Amino acid sequence: MAGVNKVILIGNLGKDPEKRVTGNGQTVCRFSIATSSQWNDTNGQRQERTEWHRIVVWGKQADTCAQYLSKGRPVYVEGRLQTSEWNDKEGHKRYTTEVIAERVQFLGSRDQSTGSSPRDQSHDREPMPGFADDAAAGTTEDVPF
């Protein structure tokens, strides 16, 4: 039986996104969003926990995110979890888990972000189409749209 790897997050950007182009010409945009949950502990005291999520966006959607997203901006992200491992400078094995975004939708009004970038003034707030899993892997040549 096939498994399911689906993540849906709504949160706010912690800083402006970072965009780069890979060696094979694919555009990738990375940013982190914060999600918070609140509850009352056993003493009735209000508690809050904030989780940070690393987001990776590929292709045309990456260009759009880099152009219009900014620190503080609310965003909806749909995607899948991917864990990578590597060895650090001391040879210790390290891991990181990221959300490979298949759909990103900008939320809120134009003045909700804390950034003052002019890019925030021109976005139309339409949802962006998702990309096939091949787009996340960096190959978009065969995608029919």
pLDDT digits (tens, 9 = 90+) for 72-110: 999 999 999 999 999 999 999 999 999 999 999 999 876
Q: Are 92 and 61 in contact (CB under 8 A)?
A: no
What is residue 1's predicted lDDT score, i.e. its pLDDT?
A: 84
β-strands 74-87, 93-106 pairing: antiparallel
- Residues with Cβ within 8 Å of residue 65, at least 6 apart in sequence: 17, 19, 29, 31, 57, 104
What is residue 124's predicted lDDT score, i.e. its pLDDT?
A: 37
Average pLDDT for the chain: 83
Question: Mean of the pLDDT values across residues 14-23?
Answer: 96
pLDDT digits (tens, 9 = 90+) for 35-55: 999 999 999 999 999 999 999
- Of the pLDDT bands very low, low, confident and very high (cuts 50, 70, 90), residue 111 is low
What is residue 108's predicted lDDT score, i.e. its pLDDT?
A: 82
Domain ranges, ordered by start, for the chain:
7-127
What architecture is the 7-127 domain classified under in CATH?
Beta Barrel (2.40)
